[in-house]
Amino acid sequence: MMDESCPGKVEPILEILDSKWMLLLLFELFNGTKRFGELRRKLQPISPKTLTDRLRLLEEKGIVTRTLYPGVPLHVEYELTESGQGLQPIFAAMWTWTQQFGESLQERMDDRRMAP
């Protein structure tokens, strides 16, 4: 499973998760459907441009849907798709790792060593 071809298979998902704000954004969406302004307030001080950029990427990748509700004032709702919900185990694994090893994340370069 962890063979040679694996990096190429995992990188597409890192392209999604890599960018600033993306994690926080996905966490908000795990807690249910959200409107643009709502997300903007929760992720303060994100700029509307960056928020739009992130949401468009998620939309392109099929991870969220965007639903427009006409009327005055109009509003828009963002919701995770099935593949969006499917990201949860990845976050769960990160959470587990942090539980196990997070303590040792303080900066320290003390264990540089020489061969015996």
Interface with DNA (CB under 7 A)? 19-21, 35-38, 45-50, 52-53, 55-56, 66, 70, 72-76
Give yes or no for a contact between 33 and 66, defined as CB atoms under 8 angstroms apart.
no
Distances (CA, A) of 51 to 3, 18, 37, 63, 80: 36, 14, 10, 15, 16
Which phi-psi region, left, alpha or beta, contains residue 109 (left: φ > 0; alpha: ψ -120 to 50)?
alpha
Give yes or no for a contact between 41 and 53, defined as CB atoms under 8 angstroms apart.
no
83 binds, among DNA, its own copies, none (CB under 5 to 8 A by kind): its own copies
Distance from the Cα of residue 115 to its chain's centroid: 40
44 binds, among its own copies, DNA, none (CB under 5 to 8 A by kind): none
Q: Which residues bind its own copies (CB under 8 A)?
A: 1-2, 6-7, 9-14, 17-18, 23-24, 27, 30, 59-62, 65-70, 82-83, 86-98, 100-102, 104-105, 107-109, 111-115
Closest CB 50 distance from its own copies, rounded Å: 16
Closest CB 47 distance from its own copies, rounded Å: 19
